[in-house]
A and B are shown apart, each in its own frame.
Chain A
Amino acid sequence: MNETSQAVPAKPQGSPPSGAEKIGRRKFLSWFGLAWVSFAAATTGALSIVLRYLFPNVIFEPPTNFKAGFPGDYEIGVVDERWKEKFGVWMVRSPEGLYALSTVCTHLGCTPNWLVNESKFKCPCHGSGFYKSGINFEGPAPRPLERYRVALAEDGQILVDKSRKFQQEKGEWNNPESFLPL
């Protein structure tokens, strides 16, 4: 009986203990408390380090604004891939002007490929296809590719602002900022 009540400190309200045993249990409980406190401290410490780890010291994110050269650099009717690698943007020059398409598939976020011969963007992950305008027409992608803000900077270069997105399904492609008439 004595042994049981010592081994199960969680249930101290067992049979009335004798004097010697009382001290033993109190001692035990204080050790127990110490153990818990140190365990909690260690866990918190470890967790906080893990949390800290989630926030990197340096972020190699390309700036959201970039200058994309002069309008004359772009050929009419061509999907320009020069900024794809670095900024994740396709520049498309239509007869009327320029727009900047995001290279993120609207299905699950893979990067589609521009197929020149078929004149479409085709995603390698589940086969979504988009027209040159960014409109989705095949595969599972539920909405068109997003466009970014394009404007002319003072020095005559094109400014692409990736912090401003325009989604066709919300009617935002009518916004003059989503298109640079030339």
Chain B
Amino acid sequence: MIPPMIEAQKNRREILGGAAGAAAATLWPRAIRAQAAPRIVIVGGGFAGASCARALREADARLAITLVEAQHTYTAPPLSNGVLGGTRTLAQQQFGYDKIAAAGITVAIATATTVDAQAHSVTLSTGDKLRYDRLVVAPGIALRFDAIPGYSAAAAAQLPHAWTSDGTQIDLLRRQLEAMDDGGLVAIVAPVNPSRCPPGPYERASMIAHYLKTKKPRSKVVILDSKDTFTMQELFLKAWKELYPGLLEWKSLSSGGNVASIDIAKKTIETDFDNYTFAVANVIPPQIAGPIAKLAGVADRTGWCPIDPVTFESLQQKNIHVIGDAALAGAMPKSAFAGSVEGKLCAAAIAALLVDKKPAVPKLVSNCYSVVAPDYAISIAGVYHPVNGEYVDVEGSGGVSPLDAPAALRAQEAKFADAWFRTNTAEIFG
């Protein structure tokens, strides 16, 4: 079945003569070619890819833009921990692609299965082959299901990771928390760096603790960590002491938090020092760039994708750009905020490159809120620019919320978290 957005798009594209223009582009001399319709294909319709598509559409009306996305519905991870805390609904996290299609972007709901960088083509799960002048790879992360003995892709149906834009995962974790008896243990397995949303596991622990405190106060949360330090650590520890005393425990690497194996049937997690019997387990495995990055030849040995920080073009493949969590972006965190900005800047760079102009040197901001209770949020902000081919902090900028702050400031940050989410998602999906 052809999804309606593609059907609607078809008519529009015929009016615009997109394919004819694109085909002609390859035949015309350079001067005229600049007037034709270059084809841009974007793989991945998350914060990064969908932002890029919208910004390209605004930057240049001539472009033939195709956004390839595997899912009909995008479940935005930011604030999704609120679904676990009972402060937000799953529906508030979910977005479709109709408005993006209506804006004049061809939306293909399919999985990109291969990229031929020499032939400039992408093959989809539908069998279709898309030709591109420039390809943007924005697939987010792949979870390394092989990293923890006992865990696997299949195990995620029982021990959810809830760490991607697949909404069934967060829904499953929510339902498991609801079904759990009072007095049970909720174990969160936190990954090594680099990973998506560094404060995310700790925000999640807070939101689950909030739910338990209000609904199942004899229960407990334990974070089993492969790290000895984490972002905004002091702020989180202080908040937990105030809000969730005795309810939430953090086990660092050196205090035995590192997970050795998981036994799903017995519902136990073995760490370097201990054995935990859990009622609910949320396993967040280590991560690499989404699989299409490797298939396109843009991922390096780390599993992530090195890029030119000005154009976001891959250092390994010409005419392929990488944005969002999949990219190796120096000091910049893997956040939706940063991914969305990267999408816009990559679009501006592509628009410039297509008319043989030099792209402007970008400046990026990432500002991530962590909501630890209703009316209580903290944040980490950073401003970044490229220096010697790598993103670094602009000296003297950025930082975290003050350790000592009145309740009104924490409440204000919680309001900002909501408002950022509404504004940024409206900009992308609205």
Do these two chains really belong together in a complex? no
**Hey, which bits of chain A sit against chain B, CB under 8 A?**
none
**Hey, which bits of chain B sit against chain A, CB under 8 A?**
none
